[in-house]
Amino acid sequence: MDATVSETTQTPALTGFTREAVLALSAAKGEPDWVRDARLAAWATYERLPAPKMTDEEWRRTSLRGLKLDRLAPFAGVGQTIGSLADLVEADDAGALALGGQQAGVVVQRDASTLWTEFDPAVAAKGVIFTDLDTAFREHPDLIRRHFMTTAVPTDFGKYEALHAANWQGGTFLYVPAGVTVELPFRSFALAQAPSSAVFAHTLVVLEDGAEAFFVDGHRSPTQDAQSLASGVVELILGEDAKLRYVQVQDWGRHVWNMMTERSVLAEGAELKSLQVTLGSKWSKNSIGAHLRGRNTLAEMLGIFFADGDQFFDHHTWQLHEAPNATSDLEFKGALKDGARSVYSGLIKVSEGAQKTDAYQQNRNLVLSRTARADTIPNLEIAANDVRCTHGATVSQVEEEHVFYLQARGIPRSEAQKLIVEGFFRPVIDRIPVEEIRDYLQGAIARKVGMGL
């Protein structure tokens, strides 16, 4: 594979989010005027839009009171380099690369710098573009202008999406031309190490008509004392009959406040199979939506989350049916222990005229301690009269009868509880077609279960 290492100019640290900080970031990256102007327009949108309040339905159970934006460096680490990918592994970032193996390409970023990129020349010869977002802005401006925060997640989508558009750093761009199939996965890893700083990772995937690809996103950092922010946006744009598998694994340190907005847009006959894994951070708010805009589309949306300690996870999902004969299938499963808390709210929305919709939504929660809490709110909004839409939600504790059954067969109580939790997640894990990802998740869940259960 071809490999490249980023080299840029170091910049002084700033504190707080301001117009001047946006200009400093753009200057540090040496961006052309049109990119700088787009950032400034996004900053103006951020200043104009009101901050979310707990009276807003989406924020009713989620407080931003502890987030101190004025104390954070808006970006850090511009100019970091490594000699080889092995150097990164030796620097204790091996966990972020645990999903390694055969791949069509890989991009590794830390803070605001791209450390490493590899891309299979045979795949590139098919017209595929896979690169960090800074390079994409320079070398493929027409594609970027057409797709970056325009259709899937527009800049004015929300206040914090506008903040992201003004301060995005690094990020990854994948473009697959019409009719091209790439079987091996593309992998992107966003790492963070600078204290009291913000990371704005952005993923943009564009598949033209009939294209097929598999993309894996990893997010990781060690736990630090001072608060940090991770604000991510994922845009998945699928042309007619395109097929995409997308996996995101979030394992930020326990000092991180994490916001993530993911939106997919599906044209006629397109198929999306996605998996969202939430393991890390102190506080996470994930907004995940699929817009089924064409006929005969399919969106399979899977989710796994496991919160412990004082972690707080909030997942909002949208299955937006805008055309007839489309199918969506959502299954999110979560486990909680210690004093952790989770919120899930999902909406199946069927527009008028979206007849023959088949939509399913399921959220299951397993509570492993008396002090943990899970709230779940499934919703339906149906404007068509010939549909099949169902939803279900449960919150339950480990059944003592199940524990007793295993203990009666000589299994210690702690091990019995671990087996029950692993069995709870098994139906979702078994739907993942890649063995190495299944093994990674099983190991991560086992470590979580074993921490003081």
Residue ranges of E strands in 252-357: 256-266, 271-278, 283-292, 298-307, 312-321, 327-336, 341-350
- The domain spans of the chain are 2-294
Q: How far apart are CA 286 and CA 318, in angstroms?
A: 11
289 is written with which tokens? 């939506």
pTM of the model as a whole = 0.93
Distance CA 131, CA 128 (A): 10
pLDDT at 100: 57
Q: What's the half-sphere exposure (Cβ side, CA atoms, 13 Å) at 325? A: 7
* Vertex 28: Cα angle to 27 and 34 (nearest 5): 40
State the Cα–Cα distance between residues 175 and 443, nearest whole angstrom.
32
In sequence order, what are the beta bridge partners of 265?
237, 291
Query: In which element (H, E) is residue 214 found?
Result: strand 212-220
Q: Are the CB atoms for 262 and 290 separated by under 8 Å?
A: no
CA-based nearest residue to 345, from 98, 57, 140: 57
- Residue 421 to residue 425: CA distance in whole angstroms: 7
Return the closest-CA partner of residue 184 out of 107, 111, 109, 106.
106
- What is the structure's pLDDT at 416? 81
C-alpha dist (Å) from residue 220 to 171, 201, 223, 282: 14, 12, 10, 13
From first to last of its 453 residues, what are the pLDDT tens digits of the chain? 666 544 443 444 577 899 999 999 999 889 999 999 999 999 999 999 999 988 888 899 999 999 999 999 998 877 776 766 666 655 555 454 545 568 899 999 988 888 889 999 999 999 999 999 999 999 999 999 999 999 999 999 999 999 999 999 989 999 999 999 999 999 999 999 888 999 999 999 999 999 999 999 999 999 999 999 999 999 999 999 999 999 999 999 999 999 999 999 999 999 999 999 999 999 999 999 999 999 999 999 999 999 999 999 999 999 999 999 999 999 999 999 999 999 999 999 999 999 999 999 999 999 998 999 999 999 999 999 999 999 999 999 887 777 777 788 888 877 787 888 888 999 888 888 777 788 888 888 888 887 554
For residue 299, the one-letter residue type is A
Query: Which run of H or of E encompasses 86?
Result: helix 85-88
pLDDT at residue 115, as a whole number = 87
Distances (CA, A) of 5 to 2, 12, 84, 113, 382: 11, 22, 8, 10, 50
| pLDDT value, residue 10 | 41
User: Which pLDDT score is estimated for 430?
Assistant: 87
Q: What angle do CA 199, 205, 206 make, to 5 degrees?
A: 150
- pLDDT tens-digit map of 10-29: 444 577 899 999 999 999 88
pLDDT at 6: 46
pLDDT for residue 2:
62
Which pairs from 80-86 meet CB under 8 Å and 24+ separation? 80/6, 80/110, 80/111, 80/113, 80/115, 81/5, 81/6, 81/7, 81/113, 81/115, 82/5, 82/115, 82/116, 83/5, 84/116, 85/3, 85/116, 85/118
| 5 touches 115 (CB < 8 A) | yes
Cα(209)–Cα(235) distance, integer angstroms: 17
